[in-house]
Chains A and B, each alone.
Chain A
Amino acid sequence: MSTLQTTASGPTRWPRFLLSMLGALVVWFALYGVLQPAATYFSRDLLRLDPKAHLGSAVEFFIFEAPKVLMLLTLVVFGVGVVRSFFTPERTRAILAGKAESVGNVMAAGLGIVTPFCSCSAVPLFIGFLTAGIPLGVTFSFLISAPMVNEVALALLFGLFGWKVAALYLGTGLAIAIIAGWVIGRLKLERHVEPWVYEMHAGAAGPANGSLTWDERFVQGLEAVKDIVGKVWPYVLVGIVVGAGIHGWVPENFMASIMGKGAWWSVPLAVLIGVPMYSNAAGIIPVVHALLEKGAALGTVLAFMMSVIALSLPEMIILRKVLRPALIATFIGVVAVGIIVVGYLFNWLV
Chain B
Amino acid sequence: MTHIEVLGPGCAKCKVLFEHADKAAKELGLEYDIKKVTDITAIMGYGVMSTPALVVNGELKFSGRVPSAEQLKGILS
Q: A residues within 8 Å of B by Cβ? A: 88-90, 93, 116-118, 120-121, 123-125, 127-129, 131, 200-207, 209, 321
Cβ contact within 8 Å between A121 and B51: yes
- How many A-B residue pairs lie within 8 Å, measured between CB atoms? 77
CA distance A117 to B48 in the complex (A): 13
A209 nearest in chain B by CB position? B62
Interface string of B53-74 (1 = CB under 8 A from A): 1000000111111000000000
Q: Does B43 contact A (CB under 8 A)?
A: yes
* 14 A–B contacts from the bound complex (CB under 8 Å): A89-B50, A89-B64, A90-B47, A118-B13, A128-B49, A200-B44, A201-B45, A203-B45, A204-B47, A206-B48, A206-B60, A206-B63, A209-B65, A321-B40
Cβ contact within 8 Å between A123 and B64: no
CA distance A125 to B48 in the complex (A): 8
Interface residue range, chain B: 20 to 34
Cβ contact within 8 Å between B50 and A118: yes
CA distance A116 to B51 in the complex (A): 11
Cβ contact within 8 Å between A123 and B9: yes
Of B9, B45, B63, B64, most A-chain CB atoms within 10 Å: B64
Q: Does B11 contact A (CB under 8 A)?
A: yes
Q: Does B32 contact A (CB under 8 A)?
A: no
What B residues does A205 contact at CB under 8 A?
A: 47
A-B residue pairs, 10 tightest by C-beta:
A120-B11, A203-B47, A128-B49, A89-B49, A206-B60, A121-B51, A202-B44, A89-B50, A125-B49, A121-B50
> Min CB distance, A36 to chain B, in Å?
37
Interface string of B7-22 (1 = CB under 8 A from A): 0110111000000000
CA distance A203 to B55 in the complex (A): 13
Q: B residues within 8 Å of A by Cβ? A: 8-9, 11-13, 40-41, 43-51, 53, 60-65
CA distance A201 to B43 in the complex (A): 11
What B residues does A117 contact at CB under 8 A?
A: 50
B60 nearest in chain A by CB position? A206
What B residues does A123 contact at CB under 8 A?
A: 9, 40
Cβ contact within 8 Å between A206 and B47: yes
Cβ contact within 8 Å between A202 and B47: yes
B47 nearest in chain A by CB position? A203
CA distance A125 to B51 in the complex (A): 9
Of A128, A202, A206, most B-chain CB atoms within 10 Å: A206
What A residues does B50 contact at CB under 8 A?
A: 88-89, 116-118, 121, 124-125
What B residues does A128 contact at CB under 8 A?
A: 44, 47-49
Cβ contact within 8 Å between B40 and A90: no
What A residues does B9 contact at CB under 8 A?
A: 120-121, 123-124
B40 nearest in chain A by CB position? A123
> Min CB distance, B8 to chain A, in Å?
8
CA distance A131 to B47 in the complex (A): 10
Cβ contact within 8 Å between B64 and A121: yes
> Min CB distance, B75 to chain A, in Å?
11
CA distance A325 to B63 in the complex (A): 30
What A residues does B53 contact at CB under 8 A?
A: 206
Cβ contact within 8 Å between A120 and B47: no
Known: A125-B50, A127-B44. 15 other contacts (CB 8 A): A88-B64, A90-B63, A118-B13, A120-B11, A120-B12, A121-B8, A121-B9, A123-B40, A124-B40, A124-B44, A128-B44, A128-B47, A129-B49, A203-B44, A204-B47
What A residues does B47 contact at CB under 8 A?
A: 90, 128, 202-206
Cβ contact within 8 Å between A118 and B11: yes
What B residues does A124 contact at CB under 8 A?
A: 9, 40, 43-44, 48-51
Cβ contact within 8 Å between A206 and B46: yes
CA distance A280 to B60 in the complex (A): 33
Cβ contact within 8 Å between A207 and B48: no
A120 nearest in chain B by CB position? B11
